[in-house]
Chain A
């Protein structure tokens, strides 16, 4: 009969494991760095995969459109509804459109769009490339003298980088529409008055920062999804891991980038 021992691992073994993990961490950092550099090297050199890039943009947009429309609208309604009691307690409900617009344009629209895209698009890129890797389709492209990195990675990263800012702008409008419907129902504010108040506190910097943020988020989602899929191993288990890793890592990085960008924009404000 097999016996199970619960004795702790020897100290030397523990140190070796830690050393190995640290080494693995730095190796993967190096690989990610190489992957990003390769993207910039290959994406902007001819021949361009224009048709495939456009197709991927369409895919990214279509995949997230319904969910983003629904989520954007709900975010607008809920945020307006939840903010009203605080403002009404000191008689400032007329500031509601301004508050909603600042929250949506500066933070919620890019963030919500990025998180949804990370879940929908990032996972699908990770799974798609992962399955192409394990079924040797990427190897088949390579041995036929074509450049799979350009065709598979560059097109997808460009697509997420270009499409997510557009989707974020759309999310902002849908969320504002949700906010307007709530405000109009409760306060009877007209559409024109609402829109005047929405754009009053918004500066050019807010728009620019939101777009830059979405570009960074889009790039991150594309690169992470592609990296996880392109280097996936271990058969079908690897495909699952690639999809999961794409979502978790992209979401985590999106939050980190949000904090960094908010700090940087704060210096310019």
Chain B
């Protein structure tokens, strides 16, 4: 499916990162990052393995704390708010994990219900069923409702993982390597789903990947993370129209080989 031009509000940034630094022991992963994600935008963060892409979205969602810098999400400074405020903020952020992180001991239905019943305590059974059916329909996996995660394929697990985040109607989606380990056809389906989520749920998203096909087909803007900093930020063409020896191999490997 061709990427439809998104309706992006460039005056309204939903995530704003300034001077973000993070180190593990002596290794500086992020070295002063500045970034804005605008309302309605799909921003792809590209970079090599171990370059700190996943660390970045874990800091945004409050799973990791930065050493320095500010991360403002939907007007709240993630590293300076109380646990209760962080919990409330997280409901507005969807996080799709690289390995899907489905709860092994629960069926697909229970996986989807889990965040819903715990965040909306007074929700009725009928409303729960409707919400579950709606998100399963959105990811085209209604038939898997009573299956266990171990019975699903890699692509189906990714979709259910995305459905589980959509059930809370998030304003921001964070995708960690959405196409990693999937065959090319399933990758295309996942890319289409990411675009569909952007259109249907009006979300703003950060997509972490090193798959350029995914970057090209889902990203409104690309940010290239190299040596702990964003070296190039722009459209796909702007980022890869360069002679930079650190950037060129990405393009050549993905599209020439």
Contacts and interface: CB of A to CB of B under 8 A. Distances in A.
A137 B95 contact: no
Contacts of B108: none
A136 B98 CA distance: 9
A265 interface: no
19 contacts: A131-B104, A135-B99, A136-B98, A136-B99, A136-B101, A139-B63, A139-B95, A140-B95, A140-B164, A142-B63, A143-B90, A144-B164, A144-B165, A145-B88, A145-B90, A145-B91, A145-B115, A145-B119, A146-B119
Contacts of A146: 114-115, 118-119
B147 interface: no
B177 to A, nearest CB: 12
B103 A143 contact: no
Interface of B: 58, 61-63, 87-88, 90-91, 93, 95, 97-99, 101-104, 114-115, 118-119, 121, 161, 164-165, 168
Give me the 9 closest cross-chain CB pairs, A-B, nearest first.
A144-B115, A140-B101, A145-B91, A136-B101, A143-B95, A146-B118, A145-B90, A143-B61, A136-B97
Grouping DSSP codes into helix (H, G, I), strand (E, B) and loop, the A interface class, with mixed when no group exceeds half, is: helix
The listed residue with most A CB atoms (<10 A of its CB), out of B58, B99, B101, is B101
Contacts, number: 63
B127 to A, nearest CB: 17
A142 B97 contact: no
Nearest to A151: B118
Contacts of A142: 63, 90
Interface of A: 47, 131-132, 135-137, 139-147, 151
Contacts of A147: 87, 118
A137 B90 contact: no
B97 A144 contact: no
B99 A144 contact: no
A137 B61 CA distance: 15
Contacts of A136: 97-99, 101
Nearest to A47: B121
Contacts of B164: 140, 144
A139 B101 contact: yes
Nearest to B89: A145
A75 B97 CA distance: 49
B63 A145 contact: no
A142 B119 CA distance: 12
Contacts of A141: 103, 114-115
Nearest to B111: A140
B118 A145 contact: yes
A233 B58 CA distance: 17
Nearest to B116: A144
B2 to A, nearest CB: 31
Contacts of A132: 103-104
B122 to A, nearest CB: 11
Given A135-B99, A141-B114, A142-B90, 19 more contacts: A47-B121, A131-B104, A137-B101, A137-B102, A139-B58, A139-B95, A140-B102, A141-B103, A143-B61, A143-B63, A143-B90, A143-B95, A144-B91, A144-B115, A144-B119, A144-B168, A145-B115, A145-B118, A145-B119
Contacts of B99: 135-136
Nearest to B165: A144
Contacts of B103: 132, 137, 140-141
B121 A137 contact: no
A70 to B, nearest CB: 27
B87 A145 contact: yes
A202 B99 CA distance: 57
Nearest to A139: B63
B168 A145 contact: yes
Contacts of B91: 144-145
A136 B95 CA distance: 11
Contacts of B97: 136, 139-140
Contacts of A47: 118, 121
A189 to B, nearest CB: 49
A268 B88 CA distance: 51
A132 B121 CA distance: 25
Contacts of B62: 143
Contacts of B102: 137, 140
Nearest to A134: B99
